[in-house]
Amino acid sequence: MSRMMINKLGKEVDVSKLNIRVSQGMKTPCVDICTMDNNSGYCIGCARNKNEIAFWSYDMTDKDRDDVIDELQDRKQYIKYPEKSDFTKKR
C-alpha cells in the first residue's frame, strides 16, 4: 500500500517505498520529510535513525551507507505513519 506525503519542498513522495537519490556525490534515502516516528525511532521519510542521519555525510563510509540502505525497506514496517491528513497538505 502506498503512503503519499508532501515533503518540505512541496513534492509528493511515496514514503512506503525506498527512494534513493544521489546528492553531493553520495547516495541518500532522504526525501525531505524529516519527521521522526517516536515509536520506532526512525524518520518517517527515509527510515534512518537519528545517529545515521547525523553521521551520514561526514562520518560514514560508502560501505556504511550501503549497509544502512540495505536495511531501510524492512524498517518501514515498524514506522507508525501519521494520519493521511497530517502530511498530504502542502506545508
With 90 as the cut, is the pLDDT of residue 78 above it?
A: yes
When comparing pLDDT for 86 and 38, which is higher? 38
Give the whole-angstrom CA distance, residue 54 versus residue 85.
Answer: 29
So what's the pLDDT on residue 83? 76
Sequence spans of domains, the chain:
4-78
All cell numbers assigned to 31 = 526525501
pLDDT at 89: 53
Model confidence pTM above 0.85: yes
Q: Are strands 12-14 and 4-6 parallel, antiparallel or unpaired?
A: antiparallel
Q: What is the pLDDT of residue 85?
A: 46
* pLDDT 10s digits, 4-60: 999 999 999 999 999 999 999 999 999 999 999 999 999 999 999 999 999 999 999
Run of H or E residues at 51: helix 50-55
